[in-house]
Chain A
Amino acid sequence: GAVVSQHPSRVICKSGTSVKIECRSLDFQATTMFWYRQFPKQSLMLMATSNEGSKATYEQGVEKDKFLINHASLTLSTLTVTSAHPEDSSFYICSPRLWGTNEKLFFGSGTQLSVL
């Protein structure tokens, strides 16, 4: 099956700093990347959808200037949390989608962000 590499798995940072999370699809080309956020004991909430070479589409209530998404290649997408604050502390998960395969939705292993 497809392999998705997401790192770092855990990051602790000071308030006001920026954090970059990488998501790589290792054995297939992801034309679309979904980014989710999961707060403790809650479900996954879609933050944004990005297509390779295009600007990301953000869900309502998600600040596009705070959560910068770059999908420059078919195998790499990054999520940068800018000027992080404690309320941004959460579990972030990427999910690359192989074009034309609606049923193949894989997930990265997630990144736990803790902002002090």
Chain B
Amino acid sequence: AQTVTQSQPEMSVQEAETVTLSCTYDTSESDYYLFWYKQPPSRQMILVIRQEAYKQQNATENRFSVNFQKAAKSFSLKISDSQLGDAAMYFCACFQGGSEKLVFGKGTKLTVNP
């Protein structure tokens, strides 16, 4: 079965500092994609970053980057220079090409302190 685990229910960071959110996953397929989504209080799901499993290079989007460790099935998100607007729920998710399902972790609530 496909599972996604986020072991940190809550995290906090000082403005301008760096924070890393953890995520591990389990899948039996070789064709899959990994995502981090942000859900602010509006509850609109916003794509933060995505990673194709077949790519070794870690994805980067401005202040957001991932540490993709395929053998360890780990996919952590690093947020640099944290801003107040980064405060939200962050969900790690895995999409399997075969079953065509997107499975989410339970989420990490990020608080950014001024």
Q: How far is the CB of B8 from chain A (nearest CB, A)?
A: 14
B93-108 residues with Cβ-Cβ distance < 8 A to A are 95, 97, 100-107
Interface segment, A12-20, A42-50, A71-79?
A42-50
B104 and A44 contacting across the interface, CB-CB below 8 Å: yes
Q: Which residues of A contact B104 (CB under 8 A)?
A: 43-45
Using A102-B97, A107-B45 as known contacts, say yes or no to A95 and B105 having CB atoms under 8 A apart: no
B102 and A46 contacting across the interface, CB-CB below 8 Å: yes
Per-position binary interface string of chain A over residues 78-116, scored 1 when its CB falls under 8 Å from any chain B CB and 0 otherwise: 000000000000010101010000110111011000000
Interface of A is mostly: strand
Q: Which residues of B contact A97 (CB under 8 A)?
A: 100
Give bound CA distance, A59 to B91, whole Å: 20
Q: Does B35 contact A (CB under 8 A)?
A: yes
Report the nearest A residue to B45, measured CB to CB.
Answer: A107
Give bound CA distance, A38 to B104, whole Å: 11
Most buried by A among B33, B45, B47, B106: B45
A43 and B106 contacting across the interface, CB-CB below 8 Å: yes
Give bound CA distance, A43 to B95, whole Å: 15
**How many A residues touch the partner, as a band?**
20 to 34
Report the nearest A residue to B99, measured CB to CB.
Answer: A49
B102 and A34 contacting across the interface, CB-CB below 8 Å: yes
Per-position binary interface string of chain A over residues 45-64, scored 1 when its CB falls under 8 Å from any chain B CB and 0 otherwise: 11001000000000000000
The 24 sampled A-B contact pairs (Cβ below 8 Å) are A34-B102, A38-B43, A42-B106, A43-B91, A43-B105, A44-B91, A44-B104, A46-B101, A46-B102, A49-B100, A91-B43, A95-B102, A102-B97, A103-B52, A105-B47, A105-B95, A105-B102, A106-B47, A107-B37, A107-B44, A109-B42, A110-B43, A110-B44, A110-B45
Query: Which B residues form the contact surface with A (CB < 8 A)?
Result: 33, 35, 37, 42-45, 47, 50, 52, 91, 95, 97, 100-107
Please provide the 10 A-B residue pairs with the shortest distance between their CB atoms, ordered closest to farther: A107-B45, A43-B104, A43-B106, A44-B104, A109-B44, A110-B43, A103-B50, A43-B107, A103-B33, A102-B33
